[in-house]
Amino acid sequence: MKGLKRRKRASPQRGFEFADDHRLRLLQGAEELFPALIAAMDAAMSDIQFETYIFDFTGAGASVAEALMRAAGRGVRTQLVVDGVGTGALPGAWAARLKAAGVHYRVYSPLGALGLLLPQRWRRLHRKLCVVDGCLLFCGGINVLDDFHDPNHGALDSPRFDFAVQATGSLVQAASETMEQLWWRMQAVRDARQRRLPEALQALRAASAAKHAAERAQAGPSMRAALVLRDNVRHRARIEKAYLRAIGLARHEVIIANAYFMPGGKLRRALVMAARRGVRVRLLLQGRYEYFMQYHAARPVYGALLDAGVEIHEYAPSFLHAKVAVIDAEGERPWATVGSSNLDPLSLLLAREANVVVEDADFALDLRERLVRAMHSAGRRMDPLRYAGRPLRQRVLDRMAFALMRLALWVTGKRY
């Protein structure tokens, strides 16, 4: 029996559990994720837990909603949580259909009358998680959103560039329990507002039980793959620390693809130091204008990175939405992560996020190959001289956006 035990090793610096009992499959875009997700939902026997920032019912997004309804219709317990900013209130017709089918859904932190004027409303549910029957996990950066559709920009000529993973193993339990905990906390708030105090107390007890179970699941040694969570209670800096540790240990290569790249001082210094000690550091970043803040506030940090020899490639064919990294894929200690967390203050300081971290050569090489291919075929390498000589108007907008971001952080009391 000894040989059947899961191999473990202690790693107190990490603060999350690694184990080698996982099977992981890298999925690129909704074109790969949605068929796998729908197949899992159609095979579900007991329950589906689903969280997403955006649930858009256009195009392929509707097929995911249909799969949820089919599962609920045959008696599978189906829980859906969407974010109050990313999704907001569900469209009336779809909300009615989901309810009639038996899908239980909730909106995380609805904005209310003052909207985002209240800084506490900036704490969003940004993670994308789905657990089916407690044994299969989907985690990544892909929203329920058709690859060729953007809610703000309309039809896209090329698919959105993003990733997720399908996983089995120990981390599935950790994901399930953190989702269950959030569900019952939201139920407790709802019951308390409706003055249903006995029900609220019962929901809080359920949330407490889920919390303790999650703590037990995450308190342990580390090895092959792990779920790394970020919230505003116990896991405030875990994802950032995971990046910092991996970059600090890099010996050959760091590749990061990130949609909204505004790293704080620690991450910037880690990347600069890696480049200066001879590590090849390549960043694949958003090349198309999507939002004013994300586009312009990122650019003031490019100068120091370029000066240190960091390569910056901008992805142009469509919107880059990936939040992934791979380090030393061809070395002795391969490391990769796929998840929902951008390297920006919203993700690293305010939002609920979830990343899967993988220490596996085959997985790291697969991700590396896809990122390198995207840089070569669809990326535009930024020239340091051209960056330094960009027009005055652009530099003013960049500085304005950067200053607004710093002001917003000051309002929240955060340092970054």
- C-alpha 398/C-alpha 394 separation (Å) is 6
Choice among 21, 42, 47, 133 that is catalytic: 133
Task: Determine the residue type at 373.
Answer: R
> Rounded CA gap, 318 and 374, in Å?
11
Single out the catalytic residue among 126, 211, 235, 241: 126
Q: Please give the C-alpha separations between residue 229 and each of 112, 175, 222, in angstroms, as whole numbers.
A: 27, 9, 15
- Residue 349: name the closest of 272, 414, 252, 255 by CA: 414
Active-site residue, from 56, 83, 328, 344: 328
Considering only CA atoms, give the Rg of the chain.
Answer: 21
Whether 126 is a known active-site residue: answer yes
Is 344 a residue of the active site? no
- Is 128 one of the catalytic residues? yes
Would you report the helix, strand and coil content of the chain in percent, each value rounded to 5? 45, 25, 35
For residue 6, what are the CA distances in angstroms to 2, 20, 167, 192? Answer: 9, 7, 16, 43
Q: Which of 56, 83, 128, 296 is catalytic?
A: 128
> Using CA atoms, how far apart are residues 81 and 383, in angstroms rounded to an integer?
43
Exactly one of 211, 323, 366, 398 is catalytic; name it.
Answer: 323
Q: Catalytic: 362?
A: no
Question: With contact defined as beta carbons under 8 Å apart, do 145 and 54 qualify?
Answer: yes
- Choosing from 241, 321, 344, 398, the catalytic residue is 321
Tokens matching residue 24? 């992981």
Q: Which sequence positions are flagged as catalytic?
A: 126, 128, 133, 321, 323, 328
